[in-house]
Amino acid sequence: RDEIRQERGRASQQEQRANDLENVVKNIKAKICQLEDETIANVCQQQNRVKELQREQQVSQAKYQEQQDKLQEQEEVIARLQKELCKAGLEEQRRVATQDKIFCQFCRRAPKSLLDQQFLSLIDYYESQISQMKKELRQYKKDEDQAEREAKSKEEFLNLDATPNYRALLTSFQKQLIETKARNEQLLLENINLKKDLEVRPTAQELKLYKHQVKKLEKTLKKTMQSGSAARALPAILTDVTHVSNNIFYLVLKVLSHIDSVLRSPRAPPLIYRRSKGTVPNCTKENGQECGFEHLPLTIEMWADQLMALKDLHRSLRKLSLELVPWHTADLQDNRESIRVEDLQFMVDAILEEIENKAKNGQTPSSPSLFAIVSHFQKLFDVNSLNGVYPRMNEVYTKLGEMTNAMRNLHELLQLDSSAPPTVVVDTVGKLCDTINENVTEQVQRLLGTQDIHSIITKLEEHECFFPPFQALIQDLLCLLEIRNLDDILPTVRNLK
């Protein structure tokens, strides 16, 4: 029986061990399945990641190719701009060389002064006009050559003896060729006339130059008259003076015509002196006849009077503004060189705006009321004169602002409502002071060990008598022992024993 029991126990142990092993195998299988699932999931993630990276690589390659194309385009643009820059530099050098060459031909020297630079700019302008005309003529010549080539090519294929249509076509071509040649000749003549006109027409710089030349010629004429050689040099000088005078007269006539056109324009004021309508004024005629510009001095004189009257109007408006709008802080300068209509309009608009605001409010006080208000203010704040009202008002406003800030700070420190009246603030501050005084009294009584006023006074007197010598003794000990704290005095003295 014992053996059977032992065998049963062994069998049960073996069975239990087998069950444990089965459980272990099941757990291992479950872990293996879990690892397989995780591995499959990781593989799927890796594949998805690889696909995403491939797509990103394709996108990056596309962007790279696009950037390469843009870079190539930019390089082409840079090369084109460099060519244009080189071409512009060569043209600029050619232009400067042409300017210097023409200036040297006219003046036989190099440009130095500001007037020479202006003369160079004038030469540049004329040269640009000439180059533009040359381009147009070159284009016309190309068109003509092309028409001739087309006519020749058609003539090669035409049979002049075949039908009347070809003969008519050839005749029309010949007529067109003749018309083209005539048009080209006309354009050449116009070009030559324009060049002559540009050479003759003076500018403002040339006017100054002509005036300078006139002065020099006058000086030369005086010298030659005095030296006795006037008979030989006088004709040439008179010719130069006549030429310069004609140019100056042309410019003066041009300026006067422009002024007259301004006076006749619709924008001119209606009340100025106007001359009766007629043709464009001519130059001064012989035998003392009128030149048509007699009305200009009267008109300009009237305009000058009106401009001078603007200063008086500005001064009057300034006085009116000071009377009606004395608080207006704008700096109205009365001593300026020129008065603009915009300034006068601004002053009038400010006065009108103030009057409109008063009319809208409907509560415009009367003069006695305003005088009573000012007098009451003088009595309240001890102001002797009207000139001291504004400074006193500014001072009161400043003090009021300071008091308002102080009350706001007290409300915040005492944690009171912002709408609390000043009496509440004063009561709260008084209670706080009483509390502080009570605490101080209790601390003094606790420190002195008595509550009798006479005893407290006696101890304070004793303290006043005892404390100064004691303080001097302690200071001497600290200096003698070369220490800083009171707690170190006793250990140091013990060490000295």
Counting Cα atoms < 13 Å in the Cβ hemisphere of 133 gives 17
Residues 54-62: what's their mean pLDDT?
92
* CA–CA separation, 363 and 141 (whole Å): 86
Residues 94-117, buried b or exposed e (16+ Cβ, 10 A)? ebeeebeebbeeeeeeebeeeeee
- Whether 420 has a pLDDT exceeding 50, the answer reads yes
Give 411's contacts (C-beta < 8 A, 6+ positions apart).
Answer: 417, 418, 420, 425
Alpha-helix residue ranges (DSSP H) falling in 108-163: 114-157
Distance of alpha carbon 63 from alpha carbon 59, whole angstroms: 6
Span 205-216, mean pLDDT?
A: 67
Question: Using 50, 70 and 90 to split pLDDT, how confident is the model at 378?
Answer: confident
**pLDDT grade for 78, boundaries at 50, 70 and 90:** very high
Min mean pLDDT across 228-237, 297-306, 440-449 is at 228-237
Q: For all residues of the chain together, what is the average pLDDT?
A: 75
Closest CA to 332 of 322, 310, 356, 313: 322
In whole angstroms, give the CA distance from residue 173 to residue 159. Answer: 15
pLDDT value at residue 1? 72
Nearest to 471 by CA among 459, 486, 482, 492: 486
Q: 145-154, 158-167, 300-309 — which is least confidently predicted?
A: 158-167
Q: How many angstroms separate the CA atoms of 414 and 432, rounded?
A: 10
Q: Give the pLDDT band (50/70/90) at residue 55.
A: very high
Q: Compute the average pLDDT of residues 143-162.
A: 64
Percent of the chain with pLDDT strictly greater than 70: 70
Which pLDDT band, with edges at 50, 70 and 90, does 68 fall under? very high
Segment 366-380 shows an average pLDDT of 79
Contacts of 330 (CB under 8 A, 6+ apart): 350
**How many C-beta atoms surround the C-beta of residue 314 within 10 A?**
20
Q: What is the mean pLDDT of residues 52-72?
A: 92
Half-sphere exposure of 97 (CA within 13 A, CB side): 6
Question: CB-based burial of residue 308 (10 Å sphere; 0-12 exposed, 13-18 middle, 19+ buried)?
Answer: exposed
Query: For the ranges 29-33, 54-58, 194-198, 269-273, which has the lowest average pLDDT?
Result: 269-273
The residue that leads in pLDDT, 435 or 449, is: 435
pLDDT of 71 above 70: yes
Q: Distance of alpha carbon 379 from its chain centroid, rounded?
A: 53
Question: What's the rounded Cα separation, in Å, for the pair 465 and 457?
Answer: 12
Instruction: Give the mean pLDDT of 290-317.
Output: 76
For the entire predicted model, the pTM comes to 0.27
**80-89, 133-142, 251-260: range with highest mean pLDDT:** 80-89
217 vs 248: CA distance, rounded Å:
15
Question: Considering Cα of 38, then 42, then 45, then 51, what sign does the dihedral take?
Answer: negative
Angle at 440 between CA 436 and CA 442, to 5 degrees: 120
pLDDT of residue 121: 74
Task: Give the long-range contacts of residues 114-121, CB within 8 A, separation 24 or more.
Answer: 115/205, 115/208, 115/209, 118/205, 119/205, 119/209
pLDDT at 483 over 80: yes
pLDDT tens figures, 268-293: 665 554 444 444 444 444 333 445 56
What distance lies between CA 301 and its chain's CA centroid? 41
